[in-house]
Amino acid sequence: MLHLQALQEIAQERFLFPNERYPHLKTFLNRPERTMGVQAAKSVVYPDIVVLQWPEKVVQMLAVVETAATVNVEAASGRWHPFSQAGPLYLFVPVGYVEETKRLCKAQGVRYVGLRTWRHLVGYGNFEITDIETSASGGLEALLPAFLARMLDRRKGSRLE
């Protein structure tokens, strides 16, 4: 239940596509039911969140949302690794699991473009998401918080003038 709630909150806050800025992207959630698989090596995988360039169906971003019980070797080798081969992967783990996640990724050869933490704020009824790392090669500013995306747009605009 907490996993599904966290997944829905993260998708709503970070992967709400299409939108005005990115009308060519479309988000699919593979929980509670599978809706969009992606090719990874010789199999089809179903990350928690899939963002495609639409209608071409080109993978733009993949995300996995983990709980305290699922940050482990089995998840890293059986899920994260194949997902990381299918497209740019974002890992969302509970607060307090960053070092363990990094250790598992290194040991299992998992490449990710973003590492984020999440936590449910009991009594407030909402979730908090914190950006921990973003790969310089990720280049997916769509996942930036809105105020940072606006700042980036302004900087890009000032360079063009």
pTM across the whole model? 0.83
Count Cβ atoms below 10 Å from residue 10 Cβ, excluding itself.
21
Question: What's the pLDDT at 160?
Answer: 34
Question: What's the pLDDT at 142?
Answer: 47
* Span 11-34, pLDDT tens digits: 999 999 999 999 999 999 999 999
Examine the pLDDT at 159 and tell me if it is beyond 50. no
Question: What's the pLDDT at 122?
Answer: 74
Q: How far is CA 53 from the centre of its chain?
A: 15
* Span 75-134, pLDDT tens digits: 999 999 999 999 999 999 999 999 999 999 999 999 999 999 999 887 666 889 999 998
Please give the full DSSP string across 64-87, using - where no structure is assigned: EE--GGG-SHHHIIIIIHHHHHHS
Type of residue found at 31: R
Question: What's the pLDDT at 121?
Answer: 81
Helix (H) or strand (E) run with residue 52 in it:
strand 49-53
Which structural domain range is residue 141 located in? 2-160
HSE-up (13 A, CA, CB side) for residue 28: 20
Which one has a higher pLDDT value, 151 or 46?
46
CB of 52 closer than 8 Å to CB of 26: yes
- Total of domains in the chain: 1
